[in-house]
């Protein structure tokens, strides 16, 4: 086959694949309906290995001539539809997904002129691939959706790697508009982790400055690129950090003030801070320019009050945590001050402890492995604390099954930051987190791993250190409750998250059989607890954890997932909506039946998702409520209840096989 690999695992997989391909070709000549399952499994295993897609790319012609597409639609590439291809890649079974991946490798070979195909032109193939990739742009962010993450046989990861492979060969030219829209959509959600977003903006920048690509007039793209690489007049041509620092030293007061204002404007416009912004803050600290710090941060009255009352602490946070490598913490610091966080008793003292906190060898190693050695591990952790306190709704679970732990971090950063900093100090310094469950002390030190067996993937520094401990503690609480006669969340959530979790609890399905029970009563209880028209206009005072049955865009059940109900109220369009925190890194998911979670345009604060209350209720699985503040169950309209039951019964609760267990 020409190309030789130095990877023994790949060489072995290739030998087995080539043998299977030969056997399949012979079998198909004898019987046009001979099974392709063995060959497809070998192809799937190749796709999980480095260079595996390259090897399959070189064998696409042989695969097609052997008959891998049979008499299916794939055998006629000109009739294939990008929207259907997205479904085949993201939502179908393993066989369909692998065949679709092979088909798209074929399209790439046709596009690049490596495979002349009588059924489709290179231009048609490129157009098809461009649309498919534009429809799957979320994969470029590095975040797998709940549906992708739950797929068996590493299919979610395989599809993500396929997409990266296609992009690496096709470039971004035709995808630029879609890519820019995707970046803005993600930024609207105020994420704490922005590394992958910055990578995407780096790709956009390559397009903008490539003379072969016509990007004139793409204002949205230019705003993003400038936010990172040229946010101010003094950095307009991306001169490099050392040159920029020298320019700052040469500026007069008026020019410096203008520069500071430009930084603030760019940061608040996009939600991104630039490495140049960090350079300026450090310059101001070292040159008696403290009076311009508030200007560079763009603080309003609350933020200014916080800064002036805790000036020494803010200066220490800048000195210890704000570097070009941690520049996003500039925005975290701004929003932390704007939230008035330091006025909460004990938080300022806890931050002083965090600044001086000695890290265990294990913690330092974990941070070093994840974030590199450009700065000491404690710098990355402190920057992570600042970002989390500034954006409690921006924390996500990464590509890990840890929605419960992520909700905990968000809740504590919002309500009880001193508690968050306490458990973080224990974890980072002592490799142990202590809590109490039903009167007994529980330590994370000697517990078995929970859902996270290895180091968490693609998370912020605080999550990286805390999630393994929180995950083990939650798992231990679950073990102590698993033989009880109701859903274990009833007892765990108030103890795990805090006293503000209501002790009333409803779950829609039998804990042992998964069978839906008294669905109408469940909906009435939810409305009488949360809908202002039926609960006596009582607002949600403390955010409440809830369980939802996640569905894909075809309304099929994917899995159970924890979210946090933040508030319920009238949107600007006068509809009652539920505003909630979804820790899955992308709150704008399509759940089928026309139910698409919104992250902006319906009165959402940054980081919130929202849905009309009936649509939200149709995916609700379990919720907490205050038994002493329950409204009138009978006042909830029968037709509203019936509509919700219909939506749920024709999606996740369609049959016992698809019900959550």
Torsion of CA 115, 120, 126, 127, to 10 degrees: -170
Q: Where are the beta strands (DSSP E) in 453-532?
A: 504-507
Q: For position 73, what pLDDT does the model report?
A: 85
Measure the CA–CA gap between 428 and 423, rounded to whole angstroms: 9
Which residues lie below 8 Å from residue 210, measured CB to CB, with a gap of 6+?
173
The mean pLDDT value for 327-349 works out to: 96
Q: For position 1, what pLDDT does the model report?
A: 43
Which residues lie below 8 Å from residue 347, measured CB to CB, with a gap of 6+?
341, 389, 417, 418, 421
* pLDDT tens-digit readout, 518-544: 999 999 999 999 999 999 999 999 999
Total length of the chain = 661
Packing angle of the helix pair 519-530, 638-649 (nearest 10 deg)? 120
* pLDDT tens-digit readout, 172-188: 666 777 778 878 888 98
Q: For position 141, what pLDDT does the model report?
A: 62
Q: Is 413 exposed, middle or buried (0-12, 13-18, 19+ CB in 10 A)?
A: buried
Task: Give residue limits of the domains in the chain.
Answer: 8-170, 173-229, 237-343, 365-482, 504-658
Q: For position 661, what pLDDT does the model report?
A: 33
Is residue 646 within 8 A of residue 549, CB to CB? The reply is no
Which residues lie below 8 Å from residue 646, measured CB to CB, with a gap of 6+?
none
Is residue 209 within 8 A of residue 218, CB to CB? The reply is no
Residue 660 pLDDT grade (very low, low, confident, very high; cuts 50, 70, 90):
very low
Residue 71 pLDDT grade (very low, low, confident, very high; cuts 50, 70, 90):
confident
- Residue 177 dihedral angles phi and psi, to the nearest 5°: -60, -45
Q: For position 133, what pLDDT does the model report?
A: 80
Please tell me which of 130-144, 149-163, 273-287 the model is most confident about, judged by mean pLDDT: 273-287
* pLDDT tens-digit readout, 359-394: 999 999 999 999 999 999 999 999 999 999 999 999
The mean pLDDT value for 47-59 works out to: 93
Question: What number of other Cβ atoms are within 10 A of residue 245's Cβ?
Answer: 16
The mean pLDDT value for 284-305 works out to: 94
CA distances from residue 62 to 28, 58, 67, 316 in whole angstroms, order as listed: 13, 9, 9, 63
What single DSSP character describes residue 81? -
* pLDDT tens-digit readout, 549-600: 988 777 878 788 999 999 999 999 999 999 999 998 777 888 889 999 999 9
Per DSSP bridges, beta strands 557-570 and 434-437 are: unpaired
If we measure between CA atoms, which residue out of 580, 583, 585 comes closest to residue 615? 580
Averaged pLDDT of the chain: 90
The mean pLDDT value for 145-169 works out to: 85
Q: Over 50: is that where the pLDDT of 357 sits?
A: yes
């Amino acid at each position: 086959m020409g190309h030789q690999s130095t990877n023994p695992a790949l060489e072995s997989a290739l030998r087995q694949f080539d043998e299977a391909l030969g056997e399949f070709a012979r079998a198909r000549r004898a019987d046009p309906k001979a099974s392709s399952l063995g060959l497809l499994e070998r192809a799937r295993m190749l796709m999980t290995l480095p260079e595996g897609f390259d090897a399959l790319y070189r064998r696409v012609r042989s695969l097609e001539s052997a008959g891998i597409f049979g008499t299916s639609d794939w055998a006629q590439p000109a009739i294939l539809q990008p929207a259907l291809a997205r479904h085949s890649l993201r939502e179908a079974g393993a066989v369909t997904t692998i065949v679709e991946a092979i088909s798209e490798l074929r399209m790439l070979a046709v596009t690049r002129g490596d495979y002349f195909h009588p059924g489709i032109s290179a231009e048609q193939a490129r157009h098809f691939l461009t649309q498919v990739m534009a429809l799957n742009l979320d994969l470029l962010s590095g975040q797998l959706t709940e549906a992708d993450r739950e797929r068996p046989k590493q299919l979610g990861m395989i599809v993500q790697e396929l997409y990266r492979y296609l992009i690496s060969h096709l470039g971004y030219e035709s995808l630029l508009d879609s890519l820019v829209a995707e970046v803005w959509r993600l930024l609207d959600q105020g994420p704490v982790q922005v590394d992958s977003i910055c990578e995407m903006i780096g790709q956009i920048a390559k397009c903008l400055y490539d003379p072969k690509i016509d990007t004139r007039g793409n204002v949205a793209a230019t705003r993003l690129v400038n936010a990172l690489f040229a946010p101010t007049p003094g950095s307009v041509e991306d001169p490099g950090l050392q040159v920029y620092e020298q320019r700052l030293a040469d500026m007069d007061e008026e020019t410096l003030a203008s520069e500071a204002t430009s930084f603030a404007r760019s940061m608040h416009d996009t939600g991104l801070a630039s490495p140049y912004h960090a350079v300026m803050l450090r310059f101001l600290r070292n040159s008696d320019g403290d009076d311009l710090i508030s200007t560079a941060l763009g603080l309003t009255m609350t933020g200014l009050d916080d800064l002036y009352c805790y000036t020494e602490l803010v200066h220490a946070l800048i000195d210890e945590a704000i570097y070009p490598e941690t520049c996003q913490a500039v925005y975290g610091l701004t929003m932390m001050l704007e939230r008035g966080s330091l006025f909460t008793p004990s938080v300022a003292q806890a931050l002083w402890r965090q600044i001086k906190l000695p890290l265990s060898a294990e913690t330092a190693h974990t941070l070093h492995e994840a974030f590199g050695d450009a700065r000491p591990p404690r710098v990355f952790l402190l920057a992570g604390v600042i970002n989390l306190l500034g954006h409690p709704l921006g924390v996500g679970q990464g590509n890990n099954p840890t929605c419960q732990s992520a909700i905990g971090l968000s809740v504590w950063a919002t309500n009880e930051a001193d508690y968050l900093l306490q458990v973080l100090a224990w974890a980072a310094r002592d490799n142990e987190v202590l809590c109490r469950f039903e009167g007994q002390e529980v330590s994370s030190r000697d517990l078995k791993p929970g859902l996270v067996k290895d180091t968490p993937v693609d998370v912020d520094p605080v999550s990286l250190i805390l999630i393994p401990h929180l995950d083990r503690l939650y798992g231990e609480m679950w073990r102590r409750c698993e033989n009880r006669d109701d859903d274990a969340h009833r007892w765990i959530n108030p103890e795990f998250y805090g006293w503000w979790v209501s002790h009333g609890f409803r779950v829609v399905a039998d804990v042992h059989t998964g069978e839906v029970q008294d669905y109408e009563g469940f909906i009435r209880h939810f409305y009488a607890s949360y809908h202002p028209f039926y609960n006596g206009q009582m607002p949600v005072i403390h955010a409440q954890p809830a369980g939802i049955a996640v569905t894909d865009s075809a309304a099929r059940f994917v899995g159970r997932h924890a979210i946090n109900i933040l508030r319920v109220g009238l949107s600007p369009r006068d509809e009652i909506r539920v505003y909630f925190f979804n820790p899955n890194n992308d709150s704008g998911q399509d759940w089928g039946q026309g139910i698409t979670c919104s992250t902006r345009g319906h009165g959402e604060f940054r980081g919130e998702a929202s849905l009309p209350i009936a649509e939200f209720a149709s995916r609700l699985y379990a919720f907490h409520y205050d038994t002493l503040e329950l409204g009138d169950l009978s006042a909830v309209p029968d037709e509203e209840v019936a509509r919700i039951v219909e939506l749920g019964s024709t999606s996740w609760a369609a049959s016992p096989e698809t019900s959550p267990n």
